[in-house]
Amino acid sequence: MNLIAGLEEVLSCLVFVNSIDETKMLKYLALYDNPFLYQKTGFIFSEYQRELGISDDFIKICKDRCGNSKRYLTSGINNPAYSGEWKLVYPKNIKRIKNGGLEDAAI
Q: Domain extents for the chain?
A: 3-102
Residue 13 reports pLDDT greater than 80: no
DSSP label of 78: S
pLDDT over threshold 60, residue 106: no
Q: What percent of the chain has pLDDT over 70?
A: 71
Q: pLDDT, tens digit, for every residue of 90-105?
A: 988 877 655 444 444 4
Q: What is the pTM of this model?
A: 0.75
Strand partners of residue 72: 89
| Farthest-apart Cα atoms in the chain, separation | 41
- The arithmetic mean of pLDDT across residues 19-26, rounded, is 88
Residues 36-61 have a mean pLDDT of: 93
Question: What whole-number distance in Å separates Cα of residue 10 and Cα of residue 14?
Answer: 6
